[in-house]
């Protein structure tokens, strides 16, 4: 299993451990009032991937490559200029596509649509 590194435990582990320790201290000091009560930080809500060792390596390589080329939150597209691929941020795609359609010949737009 591989833990998800996008949560608060990966970003600020000392703060999360502190919160858990404080909650445990309250339960130890006042068991009648705090037994069975847990703070959100104590509950392991981490996403796990049930993968073999080789699948974990492949997944990690894929994630690292996506980070290097800027593929997270992006759409990979070609604008027909030599058919080179470009990663366009999701928030910019509609504007870029509209600009391409307005500035291109109809046959280029059709070829782009069919690609």
What contacts 108, CB < 8 A, 6 or more positions away?
Answer: 80
- What is the DSSP code (8-state) at residue 51? -
Distances (CA, A) of 3 to 21, 38, 106: 21, 21, 48
First to last CA, the chain: 38
Residue with tokens 């600009």: 99
CA 32 from chain centre, in angstroms, equals 41
H or E segment and range at residue 48: strand 48-49
5-23 per-position pLDDT tens digit: 777 878 888 998 999 899 9
31-80 per-position pLDDT tens digit: 998 888 888 877 765 555 667 888 888 888 888 887 777 777 888 888 87
């Amino acid at each position: 299993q591989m833990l998800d590194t996008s949560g608060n435990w990966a970003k600020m582990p000392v703060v999360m451990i502190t919160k858990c320790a404080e909650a445990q201290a309250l339960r130890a000091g006042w068991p009648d009032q705090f037994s069975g009560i847990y703070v959100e930080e104590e509950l392991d809500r981490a996403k796990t991937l049930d993968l073999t060792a080789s699948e974990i390596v492949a997944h990690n390589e894929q994630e690292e490559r996506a980070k290097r080329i800027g593929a997270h939150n992006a759409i990979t597209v070609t604008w027909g200029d030599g058919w080179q691929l470009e990663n366009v941020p999701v928030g910019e795609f509609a504007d870029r596509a509209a600009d391409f359609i307005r500035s291109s010949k109809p046959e280029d737009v059709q070829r782009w649509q069919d690609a």
